[in-house]
Amino acid sequence: MRRTHLALLVATALLSLHASAIDLLQAYHDAQIYDSQFASARAAREAGAEKSVQGRAGLLPTVGLTASYNKIDSTATSAGSSTNKNFNSNNYQVQLSQPLYRPANLTVYEQSKLQVEVSEVQFALAQSDLLLRVSQAYFDVLGAQDTILFIQAQKAATVEQLESAKRNFEVGTATITDTHEAQARYDLILAQEIAAGNDLAIKRNALAQVTGKFPEELSGLKTGVTLSAPEPVTVDPWLQSAENNNFTVVGQRASFELAKLDISRNRAGHLPTLDFVASRGQSQSAFLSQIITNESTSLGVQFNLPLFAGFSTDSKVREAVALKEKARTDLETAKRNATQSARTAFLSVQSGLSQVRALEAAEVSSKSALESNRLGYDVGVRINIDVLNAQQQLFSTRRDLAKARYDTLVNGLKLKAAAGSLAEADLGQLNALLATP
């Protein structure tokens, strides 16, 4: 019984550890459920979907029912005598109104369809933003973890060098200076390790703020992974896509069309309206023992022509014209910002790929330099500080290389976001580069 209980505890612990290890795609799915900004965008899209229903309502008939019931108690006085009259009265009326010619309502319906489009674009923008925020937070954590690993590796190498310096000093083949230099470098690494631990805690909190989870382990990049250049490889197609398909540009373009329709809607304030109106009613009153019933049915059209509204209609038209010009300039600003973002991201990816290749070569060179300095120290042609500096250069290069890879991957996502093509599938492709934790 005890063994069974122990096995159950071990299995539960293993499952818990497995559940706490996540990859990039899982982090994004967690964020879709937890992130409050994305939840707000989802609710806004659901609200925006109702705009078309509300706009179409202005073209459909309206039906209303009115009813009343009254109990009347009256007293009539004449020539010193009074007469009491008590009777009941009730009535109802059903009225239908169908717009026949209301140009403003038709324009409102066209605007409502554009408003639905705007809400969908805003939700797509929120999805793209969530993809970027999760990816940035995820790779920030990986970068902070790598920094600690490199510092710990450097600390272990420095301890080894410190012990070697102490042994050489004891046998008289080195001065106390070597020991002091190694000790000073070790103390500095301890301070760096504390700062790196604090930075990791901050980055993990930032990821948890988006996903709602504190995973014990994240999937890191596979060993020897090769980063590919963006497709297409030239910047012009990316700029063209950003100018046409960027989510902010698409939303602003719809807003511009809304502003143009708003001019037509306000100008319709000068136009007549025509409605078909039908009603059916009945009134009934009871006096003493008599019941009097009146029924009526009405069919017709109702014509309305605005003549003067205190110049408000003309003022609203001028206001709408000015707002249309504002929307046009806002659209132009959105296009310029989108192309600038795409250009910046493209150059960042290109620069990042070049930096990764250079740092990969620098890593090989730094490793060779460290081995040479260690050998030189052993034979007495190099001093301890040379070995320590070579160690620091190697681990700094590895840290910079890891950061360059992460930054390049994130900039690739930013490039697709600027071009309006970022989707969950792109995150899946990136997730394929990660190893199982």
Number of domains in the chain: 2
Q: H-type helices in 21-102, by residue range?
A: 24-34, 36-48, 51-57
Q: Are residues 52 and 68 in the same domain?
A: no
By mean pLDDT, which of 76-85, 92-101, 409-418 is the weakest?
Answer: 76-85
Per-residue pLDDT of 338-377, as tens digits, reads: 999 999 999 999 999 999 999 999 999 999 999 998 898 7
Q: Distance from CA of residue 250 to its chain's centroid?
A: 16
Q: Are residues 243 and 176 in the same domain?
A: yes
Interhelix angle 235-245/384-418, rounded to 10 degrees, is: 50
> Using 50, 70 and 90 to split pLDDT, how confident is the model at 151?
very high
pLDDT averaged over every residue in the chain: 89
Q: Which residues form the domain of 143?
A: 22-59+102-271+312-431
Phi and psi based region of residue 380 (left: phi greater than 0; alpha: psi -120 to 50; beta: remaining)? left
d(CA 47, CA 222): 43
Query: In degrees rounded to 5, what are phi and psi of residue 174?
Result: -150, 160
Per-residue pLDDT of 59-78, as tens digits, reads: 999 999 999 988 877 666 66
Which helix or strand (DSSP H or E) is residue 218 part of?
strand 217-218
Asked whether the beta carbons of 109 and 55 are under 8 A apart, the reply is yes
Per-residue pLDDT of 321-332, as tens digits, reads: 999 999 999 999
Q: Return the DSSP state at 186.
A: H
Q: Are residues 172 and 245 in the same domain?
A: yes
d(CA 220, CA 405): 11
Asked whether the beta carbons of 343 and 240 are under 8 A apart, the reply is no
Provide the pLDDT for residue 177. 85
Q: Are residues 233 and 140 in the same domain?
A: yes
β-sheet bridge partners, residue 101 = 274
Q: Are residues 231 and 351 in the same domain?
A: yes
Pick from 105, 61, 57: nearest CA to 276 = 61
Output the domain CATH number for residue 280. Answer: 2.20.200
Pick from 151, 157, 161, 155: nearest CA to 186 = 155
Give the end of a domain, one of 305, 322, 348: 305
Residue type, 336: R
Whether 1 is covered by a domain: the verdict is no
Whether 5 is covered by a domain: the verdict is no
Q: Does 19 score more than 50 pLDDT?
A: no
Q: Return the DSSP state at 269.
A: G
Structure tokens at 103: 């140009």
Asked whether the beta carbons of 72 and 87 are under 8 A apart, the reply is yes
Asked whether the beta carbons of 220 and 142 are under 8 A apart, the reply is yes
Q: Return the DSSP state at 166.
A: H
Pairing of strands 21-22, 290-304: unpaired
Q: Are residues 246 and 290 in the same domain?
A: no
101 contacts: CB under 8 Å, gap ≥ 6 = 272, 273, 274
Q: What is the pTM for the complete model shown? A: 0.85
Q: Are residues 288 and 331 in the same domain?
A: no
Give the end of a domain, one of 288, 305, 322: 305
